[in-house]
Structure 1
Amino acid sequence: MNKAALVEAAVRKTAEAGSRLPPDEVERVIDALFGTVEYAGAIAEGLKRGETVTVIGFGDFHLDDAGPVLRPGHALHEYIKGSVS
């Protein structure tokens, strides 16, 4: 899934939740979290400060000797394994 598809999917998910966000707003949020070529996002900035960035259920981003790592959370593991829908 590329960025455009991620934005489109997030717009659909917000509509399912009852309050559809416009694609340009969703893209700005994704850019703010993950960054762009020109600007670091909030996750990268936290990692650079030595912090672990935790998103409950999804997982956490942290640094190890090899660089940035995502450690999936319990809810993400269960969804991927098919234990929850």
Structure 2
Amino acid sequence: MNKAQLIGMTARRAAELPGGRQLAPEDIDRVLETLFGTVEHPGTIAEALKADETVDLGSFGSFHTADGTAAFRPGRALSEYLQDQVG
């Protein structure tokens, strides 16, 4: 899945959630750019990692640094979903 597909799917899923609403693809793109950053502008996750902080996204997982590189530790909900233990 490329970034454009991720944005499109996210826009559709946001509208399908209970109480959800349609989000503009441009807004989703801006959020992704702000979180993950670009080569020219580091995102908020990169800034937190550089400050030696862990970014905890609950049951999805967490980003942290390990030996000077970014690492991701999947959370329980993501791990179980990928192993087909949920749903």
**TM exceeding 0.5:** yes
Q: Which structure 1 segments of 5+ residues have no match? A: none
Q: Name the amino acid aligned to 1:19.
A: R
Shift of 1:66: 5.7
Q: Which structure 2 segments of 5+ residues have no match? A: none
Matched residue, 1:43: 45
Matched residue, 2:76: 74
Q: 2: CA distance between counterparts of 1:83 and 1:35?
A: 33
Shift of 1:37: 2.3
Matched residue, 2:15: 15
SS of residue paired to 2:72:
strand
Q: Percent identical across equivalent pairs? A: 48
Shift of 1:15: 1.1
Shift of 1:3: 1.2
TM-score (norm 1): 0.93
Superposition misfits of 4+ residues, deviation over 4 angstroms: none
Matched residue, 1:54: 56
TM-score (norm 2): 0.91
Q: Which moved more, 1:28-37 or 1:47-56?
A: 28-37
| Root-mean-square deviation over aligned CA pairs | 1.1
Shift of 1:47: 0.1
Q: 2: CA distance between counterparts of 1:6 and 1:38?
A: 22
Match status 1:5 vs 2:5? yes
Q: Which moved more, 1:22-31 or 1:6-15?
A: 6-15
